[in-house]
Structure 1
Amino acid sequence: MVNRAFRPRGRPWGRGADASVAGLVFVLVGLGSMRSLVGARLEPWGVTAFGWSLIAVACAALCFSRRRPVAVAGLVLVAVISYYLVSSYDGPLLLALVVALYWVAAEGHLRAAVGLGSATVIATGAGTLWGNEDVNGVALFMLTGWLVAVVAIGWLRYGNQAHALERERRAATEERLRIARELHDVVGHHLSLINVQSVAALRRLAKHPERGVAQAEEALEAAKDSSGEALRELRATLGVLRKAGEEAPTAPAAGLDRLGDLVASARVAGLDVRTRVAGEPVPLPTQVDLAAYRIVQESLTNVTRHARAGGVVISVEHEHGLVTVEVADDGRGPAEDTSGTGITGMRERARALGGDLTAGPREGGGFTVRARLPHENGARG
């Protein structure tokens, strides 16, 4: 059971951490299985080599636990069962299965985690009935308790992250509503006054072409004052939303069709910028197109200011109902001032559209910002 609407993404846990966990499990399992390499022989060397290959496969699969948790856990379960069936040495390979089950639950697949855990207990119990003297009833009971605890902890982690994501989405929705109300109050009130005063001036001029000039001038003067006040309040409101140094928008909403302008500006700043587009480009809804453009723009700004990079690769991938943008640099530092809010703002943009954004160091050095933005259709509104 997985609620994909609350699927936690964008965690700081990266592939390097996955590989580290897999390596640590391999070391622990290897140390616990050293009896198969030293001491009295209980089986042929060929069987031992096969057992160690199963250990390597099970531990290596853990590198992909977060990306394909159910498939990895199934593979590890098969490898563990095969190992204990063919090997005469009772090593701690079950630890790899425990880690895999944790990630199944932590990624939101509760039913799969319960099913795989139950299969583990059933297979272990069958082995005990078959004559495995290393596992008795007490050990089987303890194993069941451990697996239940691991699945519960993973599911609790998933629930906490889903709850935090929902709070952030609710806060973003409330902020949008607050801004909408504020703009309505500022603009709507003054525009209503300007409309009333302009209509009054026109009527006075139409009814009394000669005597209504003074009255029309008075109404137009009031309309001018109202429009000036509206502009001042609107600038103050937009000033809260815009960063310092940004200009008020006077052109149509930007989109990925203006990606070339961003590339040209970054090259002028001294960056070697390359672009890659995959998939069939489709017209995007305005808010999605603008968000993708702003994320690339902010990422390039951060690279220019903070990353000390020489090269940047901008990738745009179009899929059915989804556009993914990625900005990867080869810098020597984080692509954002630690006191800034650029990445936070980009993540809020993505989440407001039902997407997600990840940002962090990439393998081999540099920094990567990747945003996935879903869209219901290709109509630009």
Structure 2
Amino acid sequence: MTTHSIGIIMNGVTGRMGTNQHLSRSIVAIREQGGVTLPNGDTIMPDPILIGRQEKKIKALAEKYGVARWSTDVDAALADPYNVIYFDSQTTVMRAESLRKAIRAGKHIYTEKPTATSLEESLELARLAREAGLKNGVVQDKLFLPGLLKLKRLVDSGFFGTILSVRMEFGYWVFEGDWQPAQRPSWNYRKEDGGGIIVDMFAHWRYVLDNLFGEVRSVSCLGVTHIPQRVDELNQVYEGTADDAAYATFELEGGIIVQANSSWVVRVDRDDLLTIQVDGTEGSAVAGLRECKTQHRVQTPKPVWNPDIPNPHSFREQWQNVPDNMVFDNGFKVQWEMFLKHVVADQPFKWDLFEGAKGTQLAELGLQSWKERRWIDIPELPL
């Protein structure tokens, strides 16, 4: 039995997602479980080097999680042949150039999304990695949420019959930063820094819709900046130049209609921060991050509109929960394990930089639809 020690450059892990999901709950968790086991009994052991611009901050992070290697010099880390994977969770505006450098250095690429600030740049990165013969992947974390895995189980079983429509509600109230600190960094609300909910969330909606229900064929989108001023981490007032809410309709292959509301200025009155309702001829389902419930056609009640009497139905009690039937691990960790197996053992991994470019494409066309106030068809990407 062989242990394959894999050097991983982790750039940008001092941010919220980088620290919590990719470092703590993925790479550190994989190390603590003894690595990733391959079918032949070999083990993959990730050996991260944490990269950051602030020495004090990156050193403290390494000490907290027991990571031996850290640096502020990304070029030195890229020059070290021991490091074979480059991972990026920096802000979007910094990502593309960092990925180019990593590709030139011959590193396999695993990255957060969006992969770049434009479709042209996202496609360029995908082509550069392909031409260099490098393995590459993009984080598609929501596909591995328990609620969406249960929803996929229902789709694959034919539970819905013909799927007619999908309704997605995502978001929560992000405090403005004056009387309570904001839960998200201020750059999210500045267009010039790569912010905006369309750029952020449409990259997610593309892979969710493509993988669960069918390829996205067209989009109609209205973006809004509901909160014009916010207060940043230094208690300074700044202008919100990016959209903080988006109201979109997508048409998928097969004529499925998707209505998707994404908002950082909505107060939650639903089962979860993200809910996806799927309606089909044979049944319906509503999935959240972890749970999923169904209503089959034979269990569907027969309400009648009558505003003159109290509502006789308790609608939420008329659904059945989909059982877990398995142990669900952290979705980010699951995908990290898959990518490590892809690099070391050449196991399949379909979510590459070209798939990531599709998310950038949908965000661009969503912004264009908003600007031009019209439906826009989604063209095939030139691979």
Bigger helix share: 1
Bigger strand share: 2
Normalising by the residue count of structure 1, what TM-score does the alignment of the two structures yield? 0.23
Normalising by the residue count of structure 2, what TM-score does the alignment of the two structures yield? 0.23
Larger relative CO (CA 8 A, sep 6+): 1 or 2?
2
Q: Whose Rg is larger?
A: 1
